[in-house]
């Protein structure tokens, strides 16, 4: 069943709907935890999920479908469209721990998914469902990562047409290349993300196109595995904190849903806290948090290098506000300098992250300075996309070409004559004979 997050009204899961008729709030999948509890004890679920780690083939080799009974059991295995997404690494190397002066920090690197962002987790479920309900076309508005994922998954389904609405000139060139290459109709609208979202909602009220933005409750079911898989990697010993960048607020809502369900199922014995991080240029959730979530604030999102979270009216505001309160969470905001310096610090440890993930790291460091997160606490920072999708800002940072930013971690390329002497001089190696 689908359940309204506002008034609790319920709808059949096979109905294509994103909002409640009565109160217009977003819907969520009412996961049948009771059936799961009846089927297996917590220790038996853990054993099953562990046993599936030995699989090489779909569906269980996927870090989403490993949890199939928890993630849309209604969908038959043969309808699943998967690229074996998920199973992403949890980095905690020595250079990283030293660089962040954090003995128990982990980076859950969702950029190491097939299309290089966390969106693949939701998209495998969303596109599988589109196939199951025999949609002819899927659509999304995007800041560049949802569109890349949707295009790649949709192109695996014969006869399924993909349409993406992008804010013109506001996604990176790598992100733009992805849907084009996947053969998806790619429309660049003269507006920002919030403008694309508005047009998309108007379009979908009139035409039978399945929406794969995070307002789609089915997609959220896939995304909730970010937290679930991390818990499994930590042997079901929950960290003290998850820190996550926030744009449209779908991902933080999904993370929270997964964690709360894990607790209800008895797979963990306490809940972690969560910290959502926004950029100063696009900080509506931060402002709402500051007013005690009394009202949803919206802003006009300004220029930021964290372009994937340049969103002024988060669609999942209410869901996010609720999970933040349920998980004793906080919301922080960070500026451009802090984002790029934090990204450079993590990149330099061999973990290539995007500026949006850099915002999460910068937010973590800010919360440490404020004494809200302790140095020794176990913290999982969620890196949402790979640095390779945002190479322009990385190069510009290291070349000192970002206006208003003094790159503290710059490592510029050094042009050099093609001689042995020049290389010796540049490297500091001295000839002995
Ligand atoms: N990080 C990256 C790399 C993203 O692409 C996004 C969202 C987020 C963080 C924020 O997640 O919106 O669920 O709060 N990107 C969407 C897109 C909006 O269209 O690709 P959120």
Could you give the residue ranges of the DSSP H alpha helices within 235-354? 250-264, 284-290, 317-326, 336-347
CATH no. for residue 223?
3.40.50.1100
Is-contact 351 91, C-beta < 8 A? yes
Burial class (CB in 10 A: 0-12, 13-18, 19+), 207: exposed
User: What is the per-residue pLDDT across 185-234, written as a single tens digit (0 to 9) for each?
Assistant: 999 999 999 999 999 999 999 999 999 999 999 999 999 999 999 999 99
Angstrom distance (rounded) from CA 391 to CA 377: 32
State in Å: Cα 416 to ligand 1 middle. 40
Angstrom distance (rounded) from CA 21 to CA 368: 43
Tokens of 14: 């096979």
State in Å: Cα 388 to ligand 1 middle. 16
Select from 26, 88, 308 the residue to mutate for testing ligand 1; criterion: most ligand atoms less than 8 Å from CB. Answer: 308
Query: Do the domain assignments include residue 389?
Result: yes
Select from 162, 170, 172, 248 the residue to mutate for testing ligand 1; criterion: most ligand atoms less than 8 Å from CB. Answer: 248
Q: Please determine, for residue 285, whether its predicted confidence score (pLDDT) is greater than 80.
A: yes
Query: Do the domain assignments include residue 76?
Result: no
Tokens of 21: 């008729």
Query: Do the domain assignments include residue 127?
Result: no
User: What is the per-residue pLDDT across 133-148, written as a single tens digit (0 to 9) for each?
Assistant: 999 999 999 999 999 9
Report, as an integer, the average pLDDT of 42-51.
Answer: 98
Select from 247, 321, 356 the residue to mutate for testing ligand 1; criterion: most ligand atoms less than 8 Å from CB. Answer: 247
Is-contact 156 81, C-beta < 8 A? yes
Is-contact 167 193, C-beta < 8 A? yes
What number does the ligand 1 atom closest to the CA of 117 have? Answer: 3
Report, as an integer, the average pLDDT of 76-97.
Answer: 98
State in Å: Cα 188 to ligand 1 middle. 18
User: 241 by DSSP, 3-state: which?
Assistant: strand
Give the binding-site residues of ligand 1, using a 6 Å CB cut-off: 117, 119, 142-146, 214, 245-252, 308-309, 354, 356, 384-385
Count of the separate structural domains present in the chain: 1
Angstrom distance (rounded) from CA 58 to CA 310: 35
The predicted model scores a pTM of: 0.97
Which residue has 């850099």 as its token pair? 358
User: 199 by DSSP, 3-state: which?
Assistant: helix
Query: Do the domain assignments include residue 165?
Result: no
SS3 helix, strand, coil % of the chain, rounded to 5?
40, 15, 45
Q: Please determine, for residue 433, whether its predicted confidence score (pLDDT) is greater than 80.
A: no
Q: Which residues pair with 244 in a beta bridge?
A: 276
Query: Do the domain assignments include residue 179?
Result: no
Angstrom distance (rounded) from CA 420 to CA 430: 11
In degrees, to the nearest 5, what angle opens at C-alpha 49 toward C-alphas 73 and 256?
Answer: 70
**pLDDT band at residue 269, thresholds of 50, 70 and 90?**
very high
Query: Do the domain assignments include residue 305?
Result: yes
Query: Do the domain assignments include residue 173?
Result: no
pLDDT value of residue 432: 84
Q: Whole domain around residue 321: which residue ranges?
A: 90-115+219-398
**Hey, what's the torsion of the CAs at 388, 390, 396, 399, to 10 degrees?**
-20
Query: Do the domain assignments include residue 66?
Result: no
């Amino acid at each position: 069943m689908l359940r309204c997050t506002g008034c609790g009204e319920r709808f059949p899961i096979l109905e294509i709907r994103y909002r409640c008729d009565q109160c217009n709030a977003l819907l969520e999948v009412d996961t049948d935890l009771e059936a799961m509890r009846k089927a297996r004890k917590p220790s038996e679920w853990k054993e099953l999920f562990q046993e599936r780690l030995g699989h090489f083939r779909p569906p269980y080799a996927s870090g989403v479908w490993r949890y199939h009974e928890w993630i849309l059991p209604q969908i038959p295995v043969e309808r699943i469209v998967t690229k074996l997404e998920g199973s992403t690494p949890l980095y905690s190397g020595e250079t990283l721990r030293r660089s962040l002066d954090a003995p128990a920090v982990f980076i859950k690197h969702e950029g190491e998914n097939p299309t290089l962002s966390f969106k693949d987790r939701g998209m495998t479920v969303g596109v599988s469902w589109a196939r199951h309900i025999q949609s002819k076309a899927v659509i999304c508005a995007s800041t560049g990562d949802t569109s890349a994922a949707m295009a790649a998954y949709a192109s695996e389904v014969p006869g399924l047409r993909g349409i993406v609405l992008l804010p013109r000139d506001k996604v990176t060139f790598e992100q733009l290349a992805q849907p084009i290459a996947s053969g998806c109709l790619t429309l660049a609208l003269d507006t920002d993300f919030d403008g694309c979202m508005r047009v998309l909602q108007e379009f979908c009220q009139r035409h039978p196109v399945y929406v794969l933005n995070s307002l789609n409750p089915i997609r959220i079911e896939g995304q909730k595995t970010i937290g679930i898989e991390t818990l499994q990697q930590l042997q079901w010993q929950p960290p003290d904190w998850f820190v996550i960048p926030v744009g449209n607020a779908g991902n933080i809502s999904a993370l929270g849903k997964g964690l709360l369900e894990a607790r209800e199922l008895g797979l963990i014995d306490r809940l972690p806290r969560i910290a959502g991080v926004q950029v100063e240029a696009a900080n509506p959730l931060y402002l709402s948090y500051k007013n005690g979530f009394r009202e949803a604030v919206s802003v006009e999102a300004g220029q930021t290098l964290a372009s994937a979270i340049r969103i002024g009216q988060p669609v999942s505001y209410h869901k996010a506000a609720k999970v933040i309160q349920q998980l004793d969470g906080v919301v922080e905001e960070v500026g451009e300098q802090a984002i790029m310096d934090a990204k450079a610090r993590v990149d330099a440890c061999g973990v290539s992250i995007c500026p949006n993930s850099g915002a999460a790291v910068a937010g973590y460091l800010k919360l440490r300075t404020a004494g809200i997160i302790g140095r020794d606490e176990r913290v999982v920072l969620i890196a949402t996309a790979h640095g390779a999708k945002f190479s322009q800002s990385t190069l510009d940072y290291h070349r000192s070409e970002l206006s208003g930013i003094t790159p503290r971690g710059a490592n510029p390329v050094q042009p050099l004559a093609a001689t042995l002497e020049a290389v010796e001089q540049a490297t500091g190696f001295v000839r002995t004979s």
